[in-house]
Chain A
């Protein structure tokens, strides 16, 4: 595996940046705790409803951090020197994205562990929930790769804001089902609402695989397309 050393270097780079780690793991946790403290009778604030949303919020942070560091690296002379090695675009993509997967997994575990303290209950299959979140994580990391390869460090925050708003109003935060109307129509076109509704259904109503397969196919379909675009973005950046 020619990309192993690149993966290792980027992995160290990620774990030796305490500030961005604190942001990507700490901020969602803080959010969860604050929202739990403000908790009212509203069902939406129940841990089971909240935890997947907070996890997705964490993934959006992770996407931002991945996009920023790829964008920064891309302008470095080290990156152009790596472009003179026989590494292929797919190996670059692996080397830059793989280190974020463990961060995403830890994020989700920490968030769910804290939500458990607040009384989180999973009526359905925990494995299914984990699978949904994993696909989500892959999707957001790949999105980060696309953003990081196409935009400069100054542009990345704006693109991040757009994705964040899409995620929030697309169902990660606002309950598009209950608002309905244009929010629901727009939200349904994006993967975020589908991911969230699948996770919430499994957790609160004990829905099984076949019950959420519609939402899941949206999520998986989007993820495949986004990963494909990430590879294209890497290929485009191989020669100026």
Chain B
């Protein structure tokens, strides 16, 4: 049931909504992900990222709105959706009492992939995830990070057209994280990927486009550069000064409405900041400017600006 107009769209959602009794977990989210695109969903804890993914994977029935994956409607054609997707859930999801091989065969077999293909792909993934040596052991004995790696491999083994990765690199050491990043890079263009992450540099480096959601709603959408450019001229002036007071920040706000307190002083959007003005405000209050410099806007700044929240880490 794929019409010509849908060919370039892998995931689309319109006014997608999920209520838990009176609580609104996802509030009318729109989503258009192109084929082969790597699309990141960013948002603070409880924003509704996982809930959105569960609706797209047919694990939760939307309260309202529609969604489709590769032209298959999640409500009317769940089997069609399930045959083209794979999900790496936020929690580690593995069968504990069997081996890593068995876990991978379980996923491959459930997708109707033949044994020989499953074995070849499993072998490659176990290699990539650094689990070859212990692949025959019951995974119950694995460390947390090893279980996590296996859980991700279980989503990759079916080589899906659309891959949902819900915080894939959570709890992994830097080496494993890099291995997964480079694997994702390789999939880019071929596989459509919807990723959620709390590592903003991960989204910045990997994602073609990012949608930021906060309190169940979309607050921004764009390429990483577009999002960073949305903050003044893409620069931030950092002023480090010990003993900053609320009164001083209030005074600075007269000139710079966007001033923000940080752990070491304040940050002001833009590169055109007059340091003398700032010292005129701080000096009478006995606050000494230790240093000031300009830095590139990062996604962290965008995130903080849009949601008023700092991501953990």
Q: Which A residues are closer than 8 A to B by beta carbons?
A: 2-6, 8-9, 12-13, 16, 76-78, 80-88, 238-240
Contacts and interface: CB of A to CB of B under 8 A. Distances in A.
Contacts of A84: 57-59, 82, 85-87
Interface string B56-76: 011111000000000000000
Report, nearest first, the 4 A-B pairs whose CB atoms are least far apart.
Answer: A5-B109, A77-B93, A85-B110, A81-B93
Contact of B111 (A4, A86, A238, A240): A86
A148 B85 CA distance: 28
B298 interface: no
B45 to A, nearest CB: 18
Q: How large is the interface on B (under 10, 10 to 19, 20 to 34, 35 or more residues)?
A: 20 to 34
Contacts of B107: 81, 85
B93 A239 contact: no
B61 A239 contact: yes
Contacts of A80: 59, 89, 93
With a 10 A CB-CB cut-off, give which of A9, A81, A88 has the most chain B CB atoms.
A81
Interface of B: 57-61, 78-79, 82-83, 85-87, 89, 91-95, 97-98, 102, 105-112, 154, 158
Contacts of A13: 95, 97-98
Contacts of B83: 86
A78 B109 contact: no
A31 B173 CA distance: 54
Contacts of B60: 239-240
With a 10 A CB-CB cut-off, give which of A80, A85, A87, A238 has the most chain B CB atoms.
A85
A78 B140 CA distance: 14
Contact of B110 (A12, A87, A239, A240): A87
Contacts of A4: 109
B146 to A, nearest CB: 16
8 contacts: A8-B106, A16-B97, A76-B93, A81-B107, A85-B111, A85-B158, A239-B59, A239-B78
Nearest to A5: B109
Given A12-B97, A13-B95, A86 B59 contact: no
A6 B59 CA distance: 19
Given A85-B110, A239-B58, 16 more contacts: A2-B109, A5-B106, A5-B110, A9-B95, A13-B97, A76-B93, A77-B91, A78-B95, A81-B93, A81-B107, A84-B87, A85-B111, A85-B158, A86-B83, A239-B59, A240-B59
